Structure 1
């Protein structure tokens, strides 16, 4: 008999901060190590010490590189973690890019808050520094997918391809003969750049994301909608601003716009890509061709079709450029990054259109825009929203409820317990009911910091 303790340290009742800590008789591991984003009450958790001892964690396994799955790593190291941080090679490349970019933003925001004085903290401190990010990156170790790797005598894991973003996997972790499956974020069956996710065939204990647990992606004609917005932008001599996640979404948008131009469905409108992190991610696609569908020639042609902005000086040149244009800039939920500079200057212009693509978490500026906010706060000041706001939910990199159910249907056994994570309350409850009605499985929705003990 073996006792396993599972600590739910994030993504419980919310879509951010994914962190699960497993105490086993032989080894202590953490699955993902994400930052909380969105609502202030969630972000405050980032600053609280973890209710576990970081120096007792021996290994961190990463499902993929997004900030809400990796952004706490530098703090974990600061709290005393000295073990290995393991992921697929593209996941670690993405994670390194994201951590460095995040550290830079934290440092810049703290410096600006201290200069302008809009923070209640004196002095305002960065959540972590570039030096702290580098210490975490020094602990990275890449492993292949589909290969069982032993961590101790009675525990082993393997990474399985999961779509969503380049390098993303779900994790099968076998402990004393029982299979624990962590879904990470599940991609979509039909994706322009990535293959369909693999699916688990067995799970004794299943931890599954529920981002779209209560929704189906709308049957939108994405190309026609984008063509309409571009026509409007040209007619009004305005700006089409697309806040974008730097990983996967930005590359998908570039590919989509390049294809539309190639098919003569849109004119040669100027397209600016202003996301230092997104530009770096493009190189990950070049370095790991077996993880996506793009040929090298298509990749190069797609990149040559857009103007890559590399300096903040060029950001301002782009804003001042009077021509109608498309700007794709980070971040996706309008929480930070270069897109804030564009919106601060252009969101009060009726000729501006803001196109939101994908999921907008509670408490983010993206969600505020989606819900019709008449003003937005940037760097301590409010700005009126006179721009048109459009939304394309069908570009999300997450599987919808049907996609999630399809991902589950290959499981041959009846899991002893299913844990629903990474979803807002209504999505979690709806998905719980769907699984129970369809499969009759025992489903539990854990609360933040809940600890469960499993006897094997």
Structure 2
């Protein structure tokens, strides 16, 4: 008997969590935080509607916060099992959990000190100690090898692009293959190899972030050259909120290559993301997982200023030179970029370049939708900065790339479940898959349980 309960990323993009019961073995596939809309974020604070103490393994597709950020909350719910992922995924997850724990603690302390929280006292979502405790449960797995989990269940991890360490997961139970796509990367990525393609799936759980869109064919280099020249002419600041994993490194590579080609001058570039800097060390440690050349990677890092302390954050803000600042978070839901916004958002010579997906309810999404004020740390700031969005840097496959990822599956899946997408996107993508392949496609609801086999 196999059944699944959808605990997150069901008719929404964030909070990926799926409870799979195979015979007498209970698994979680991913364990992410909800982000964006308030009603979703509030779900993070409650216990999961399953018996966590019975979960033996958590299988991580990759390290992003919306796939891993709920892990420390499981400890108080009785989890004592093992967390499996590729070595780079576990390294990325450890970095993200430690960083987010520090942010949770700092924001709770700030809220209590300044009195802007409705909660008395404000508490961190989880502590650094809880993050360390759950990291102690990590165990790495190799690519493309079956691992026995017991109860006639085994799992295999396959390379998926997207970010370093990312995989899709195939679980074999009862003679059936249950395939979880994770987040699917793009072909011809500057940092990563092309995603592998699955060959068989009896039940497919498929991400649909961009299931209704084709990424535009933008000349990213020319757009960045124009933005840099504008920043220099206006003696301003180009702020690039960025996800610390993959996107930050990708933007660094593009800027570095533009400088090498003499298309931009030696404008100061500050990388103000301790987590992003830590991720750079993961790229150094796992060279077989990406396509960067070691010498170029080292030269690029020397060319840019890696900011570590908050004191240096303020020095960077006060630096009068035209400059580029890359900092977290990518959707402006937290991180050091918020400090820059408090000082730069109301200045006309500031440009804000959004380079990734902006979930519903996030500050990044509100900027894209033309909102004229943002609330940061309990205060409102007027938006005077220019807002620019580059969609083609996304690490997610678009509709055509998702359909192509499916084209080597040799069987007809018994059912395809669309996950990790907004509902309107899923409805359109469902029709596209049905018309293209003739497969049965379903859009599950949050907390829905389905008997599969």
User: Structure 1-normalised TM-score?
Assistant: 0.99
Secondary structure of the 1:395 match is: coil
- Aligned residue number for residue 221 of structure 1: 219
CA distance in 2, matches of 1:295, 1:226: 23
> Which residue does the alignment assign to 1:302?
300
Q: Does 1:414 align with 2:412?
A: yes
- Distance, in Å, in 1 between the alignment partners of 2:63 and 2:76 is 20
Query: Where does residue 12 of structure 1 map in the other structure?
Result: 10
Equivalents in 2 of 1:437, 1:239: separation in Å? 47
1:35-434 equivalent positions in 2, closer than 5 A: 35-434=33-432
Q: Which runs of 4+ in 1 moved over 6 A?
A: none
Does residue 29 of the first structure (1) align with residue 30 of the second (2)? no
Deviation per CA, 1:244-283: give whole Å up to 9, x if none.
0000000001100000000111111000000010000000
Paired with 1:63 and 1:173, the residues of 2 have a C-alpha distance of 12
Q: Could you report, residue by residue, the CA deviation over 1:76-103 in whole angstroms, capped at 9, with x for unpaired residues?
A: 1221100000000000000000000010
Give the conservation status (yes or no) of the 8 Å contact 2:346–2:384: yes
Distance 1:394 1:223 in 2: 11
CA distances 1:12-71 after superposition (whole Å, capped 9, x unpaired): 010000000111213111100000000000001101111101101000000000000000
Q: Say whether the 8 Å CA contact 1:356–1:391 is kept in structure 2.
A: yes
Does the 8 A contact of 1:26 with 1:152 survive in 2? no
Tell me by how many angstroms 1:182 deviates.
0.2
Secondary structure in structure 1 of the residue aligned to 2:182: coil
Partner secondary structure for residue 393 of structure 1: coil
Report if aligned partners of 1:154, 1:177 keep a CA contact under 8 Å in 2.
no
Q: C-alpha distance in 2, partners of 1:150/1:113? A: 46
Asked if the contact 2:252–2:300 (Cα under 8 Å) also holds between the matched residues in 1, the reply is yes
Task: Compute the TM-score of the two structures, normalised by the length of structure 2.
Answer: 0.99
Unmatched runs of 5 consecutive residues or more in structure 1:
none
SS in 1 for 2:239: strand
Q: CA deviation at 1:153?
A: 4.4
* Aligned 8 A contact 2:212 2:429 in 1: yes
Other structure's SS at 2:275 match: helix
How far, CA to CA, are the matches of 1:131 and 1:187 in structure 2? 33
The C-alpha deviation readout for 1:155-210, integer Å capped at 9, x for no partner, is 11110000000000000110011000000000001100000000100000000000
Contact kept, 8 Å, 1:7 with 1:450, in 2: the verdict is: yes
**125-134 or 21-30: which moved more?**
21-30
User: 2:201·2:411 contact (CA, 8 Å) conserved in 1?
Assistant: yes
Q: Distance in 2 between matches of 1:203 and 1:452?
A: 17
In structure 2, what is the Cα distance between the partners aligned to 1:153 and 1:213?
35
Considering only aligned residues, what root-mean-square deviation do their CA atoms show, in Å? 0.6
Structure 2 gaps of 5+ residues are none
* Deviation at residue 358 of structure 1 after TM alignment: 1.4
1:437 corresponds to which of 414, 435, 442: 435
Q: Is the 8 A contact 2:22 2:153 kept in 1?
A: no
Kept in 2: contact 1:26–1:154 (CA 8 A)? no
Task: Give the distance between the partners of 1:26 and 1:35, measured in 2 at CA.
Answer: 27
Match of 1:450 among 430, 439, 448: 448
CA distance in 2, matches of 1:265, 1:313: 32
Per-residue CA deviations over 1:398-452 (Å, capped at 9, x if unaligned) read 0000110011111011000000000001111111000001111110000000000
Residue 121 of structure 1: SS of its match in structure 2?
coil
Asked if 2 retains the 8 angstrom alpha-carbon contact of 1:78 and 1:132, the reply is no
Take 1:409 and 1:23, find their aligned partners in 2: how far apart are those partners? 28
Partners of 1:153 and 1:320 in 2: CA distance: 60
SS of the residue corresponding to residue 452 of structure 2 reads: strand
